[in-house]
């Protein structure tokens, strides 16, 4: 095999890899957007009906569907422009190699400890709070429009920020790694029609940021002191302190840690 043939194979592999990578990031972000999921479902249904009409020779249905297929993409772009822009923004904010600080075990334990101390205080005293922990997708858009803090994460600072009648009480706090980056952040609220109407703005904002990104949003209700966690496009409502702690630990834990532990245990067995 000469050099040109080898180079041709390499370029084809790169070409296919780029296409699959693009599909991966598009599908990953579409999955976290309720309206975009509905759009995709609608397009799939239309295509299936079009195939069925061709097989059964349904002339009238086929003609109508041809018009829909021809003009549908333009209509989708015009009607769902905000949702498409949201997905493209999410892709643009995603860092391919990750941007958040990888916490050590001790740092992770400290983060959980400080957050849980403040959550217990907020729950006991019925103080509303919204704490958002950034992961792979950048929240710089919200950081730019909020009050910068850039301080070590402590329960005292969180309690000061969310103290009733303080200027930043109604906004959210964004945590990057083991530091509080900003306070007073305003997030887009979820438009999910399945969300209970009893939920307030904080819970809808928490679910909104969980739908838009991979962040972890921690919420304390000002009315009844109930604590909840929104992540992975879901709202885990009214958790106990133990459930809240375990969920937080699980979401903060690196997903690759299990593989390292498995490799270590296997090597230990080999040594024995």
DSSP letter assigned to residue 22: H
Cα separation, 132 vs 174, in Å, equals 5
What is the per-residue pLDDT for 86? 62
What is the per-residue pLDDT for 249? 93
Is the pTM above the cut of 0.75? no
What is the per-residue pLDDT for 170? 85
Instruction: Name all domains of the chain by residue range, CATH numbers in brackets.
Output: 3-93 (no CATH), 105-252 (3.40.1700.10)
Q: Quick one: CA dihedral 11, 16, 17, 23, positive or negative?
A: positive
The more confidently predicted of residues 228 and 17 is 228
DSSP letter assigned to residue 185: E
Where helices occur in 57-136 by DSSP H, the ranges are 59-79, 81-93, 105-125
- pLDDT, tens only, 67-97: 777 777 777 777 667 666 666 665 555 544 4
What is the per-residue pLDDT for 98? 43
Find, among 205, 186, 120, the residue nearest to 158 by Cα. Answer: 120
What is the per-residue pLDDT for 31? 60
Q: Return the ∠ at Cα 108 (arms to 106 and 109), rounded to 5°.
A: 65
Give the strand pairing for 234-239 and 147-152: unpaired
Cα separation, 192 vs 200, in Å, equals 13
Which whole number is the average pLDDT over 113-136?
Answer: 95
The structure tokens 């992975």 sit at 232
DSSP letter assigned to residue 234: E
Report how far Cα 272 is from the mean position of its chain's Cα atoms. 43
What is the per-residue pLDDT for 116? 96
Cα separation, 162 vs 196, in Å, equals 25
The more confidently predicted of residues 255 and 4 is 4
- pLDDT, tens only, 19-52: 888 777 666 666 655 666 777 777 788 888 888 8
What is the per-residue pLDDT for 160? 94
Neighbour tally for 107: CB within 10 Å: 15
Query: By the 8 A CB rule, do 85 and 128 touch?
Result: no
Q: What is the mean pLDDT of the chain?
A: 81
SS3 136: coil
What is the per-residue pLDDT for 161? 94
Mean pLDDT lowest among 56-65, 72-81, 108-117, 233-242: 72-81
Share of the chain above pLDDT 90, in %: 39
What is the per-residue pLDDT for 12? 85
Cα separation, 229 vs 220, in Å, equals 9
> Structure tokens of 107?
């740092």
Classify each residue of 52-72 as buried b or exposed e, where b means 16 or more C-beta atoms within 10 Å of its C-beta: ebeeeeeeeeeeebeeeeeee
């Amino acid at each position: 095999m000469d050099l040109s043939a080898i180079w041709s194979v390499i370029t084809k592999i790169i070409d296919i890899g780029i296409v699959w990578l693009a599909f991966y990031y598009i599908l990953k972000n579409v999955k976290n957007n309720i309206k975009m999921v509905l759009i995709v479902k609608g397009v799939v249904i239309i295509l299936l009906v079009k195939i069925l009409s061709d097989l059964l020779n349904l002339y009238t249905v086929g003609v109508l569907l041809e018009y829909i297929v021809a003009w549908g993409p333009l209509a989708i772009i015009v009607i769902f422009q905000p949702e498409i822009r949201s997905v493209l923004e999410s892709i643009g904010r995603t860092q391919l190699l990750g941007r958040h600080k990888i916490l050590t075990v001790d740092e992770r334990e400290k983060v959980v400890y400080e957050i849980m101390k403040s959550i217990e205080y907020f729950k006991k005293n019925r103080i509303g709070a919204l704490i958002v922990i950034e992961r792979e997708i950048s929240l710089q858009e919200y950081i730019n429009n909020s009050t910068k803090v850039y301080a070590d994460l402590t329960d005292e600072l969180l309690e000061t920020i969310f103290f009733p009648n303080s200027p930043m009480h109604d906004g959210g706090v964004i945590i990057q790694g083991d530091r509080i980056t900003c306070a007073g952040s305003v997030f887009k609220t979820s438009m999910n029609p399945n969300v209970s109407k009893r939920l307030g703005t904080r819970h809808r904002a928490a679910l909104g940021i969980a739908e838009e990104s991979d962040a972890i949003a921690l919420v304390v209700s000002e009315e009844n002191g109930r604590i909840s966690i929104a992540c992975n496009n879901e709202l885990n409502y009214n958790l106990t302190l133990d459930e809240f702690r375990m969920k937080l630990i699980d979401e903060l834990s690196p997903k690759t840690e299990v593989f390292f532990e498995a490799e270590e245990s296997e090597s230990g067995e080999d040594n024995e």
